[in-house]
Amino acid sequence: NAGVTQTPKFQVLKTGQSMTLQCAQDMNHEYMSWYRQDPGMGLRLIHYSVGAGITDQGEVPNGYNVSRSTTEDFPLRLLSAAPSQTSVYFCASSYSQREGRQETQYFGPGTRLLVL
């Protein structure tokens, strides 16, 4: 299994440009999520999905859109990039909560985004 994969690894955008960060997993996980990681702030949840066709907002959703048309893929779209969105983005996946126990999240390798 490849686990969680992300593309691209690195991207430079100009302010106002749009782009899509790709995330895919081959572990048949129902739950997928997007985080951003900024220096001194840990990981913050942007959006998440508990299954195909279902998405919801996390802690910092503004400026980002997501969709979940398949179990495997969970792309993150930046509609109009801003310098404040310069960050490292991680996708993660897990099984949905089973038997009342929280499931381990597995992270992708990350996408480093620079917005000029």
Partner 1 sequence: GENVEQHPSTLSVQEGDSAVIKCTYSDSASNYFPWYKQELGKRPQLIIDIRSNVGEKKDQRIAVTLNKTAKHFSLHITETQPEDSAVYFCAASEGNNNDMRFGAGTRLTVKP
Please report, as ranges, the residues that interact with partner 1 according to CB under 8 A: 31, 33, 40-45, 48, 50, 56, 58-59, 90, 92, 94, 97, 100-105, 107-110
Q: Which two tokens stand for residue 45?
A: 């949840």
Report the candidate in 112, 85, 93 with the shortest Cα–Cα distance to residue 29: 93
Minimum distance of partner 1 from residue 77's CB (angstroms): 19
* Distance set, CA 58 to CA 36, 49, 65, 79 (Å): 11, 10, 11, 17
Minimum distance of partner 1 from residue 102's CB (angstroms): 5
Determine phi and psi for 68, rounding to 5 degrees: -140, 85
Cα(8)–Cα(105) distance, integer angstroms: 21
Minimum distance of partner 1 from residue 66's CB (angstroms): 13
Nearer to partner 1, 44 or 77 (CB): 44
Nearer to partner 1, 74 or 90 (CB): 90
Nearer to partner 1, 16 or 56 (CB): 56
